[in-house]
Amino acid sequence: FHILRIEIRGDTIERCLSHFTEREVLDKDNRYKTPSGVYVTASKDFKIHRPPRVLLLHLKRFTVQSGKIKKMVTYPETLNLGPYSSAPRDSDPLIYTLIGVVVHDGSGVHSGHYYSFVRNSNNLWYECEDSNVGPGSVKHVRRQRAYMLAYLRKPNTPKPSSVKPPP
């Protein structure tokens, strides 16, 4: 598995991932120092090179001042990780299915309560809170202000252009 800690920069998880992976120019007071000690303008970006089987997205909901970012960020049941990877655009799709959501209920980093929603192998959702486990629904799950999202990679399926009809 792999954990990506992403800032809440947008109202969808896709926008947050786009911000996480966008190219950043390092200039002025933030220039890159070469091994020879020379400061130069450069750029950097982050891409997922080896997509994991299980992807955990940690939304940075707490500020340095211990405040909580309560903004709603929507997230899909099915996530295409392709645009955020280093794989060529014509590669097999990197499709992930939502399997878990962790929620923090409280006002800040020093107080609150965590609970979760998990999907079982029969695609049924359950809400887990302390010692209580009860049925849930994807509709209810997707209305949560997620703190962490867990996605499971679907097995690769061939692109439509590479599928040949049977003889």
> Given this model, what pLDDT does residue 66 score?
63
Give me the chain's average pLDDT, please: 88
> Given this model, what pLDDT does residue 58 score?
96
> Given this model, what pLDDT does residue 32 score?
92
Report helix, strand or coil for 10.
coil
Residue 162 has pLDDT above 90, yes or no: no
Residue 167 has pLDDT above 80, yes or no: no
- Whether this model's pTM surpasses 0.85: no
Report helix, strand or coil for 80.
strand
Helix (H) or strand (E) holding 43: strand 42-44
Please compute Rg for the chain using Cα positions.
19
> Given this model, what pLDDT does residue 157 score?
53
The predicted model gives 111-131 an average pLDDT of 93
The predicted model gives 124-148 an average pLDDT of 94
> Given this model, what pLDDT does residue 5 score?
93
- Tens digit of each residue's pLDDT (9 = 90 or more) over 18-71: 999 999 899 999 999 999 999 999 998 888 888 899 999 999 998 877 688 889
Separation of alpha carbons 49 and 38, rounded Å: 29
The predicted model gives 130-159 an average pLDDT of 89
Helix (H) or strand (E) holding 87: none
> Given this model, what pLDDT does residue 89 score?
74
Residue 121 has pLDDT above 80, yes or no: yes
Contact 127, 137 (CB under 8 A): no
Separation of alpha carbons 130 and 152, rounded Å: 24
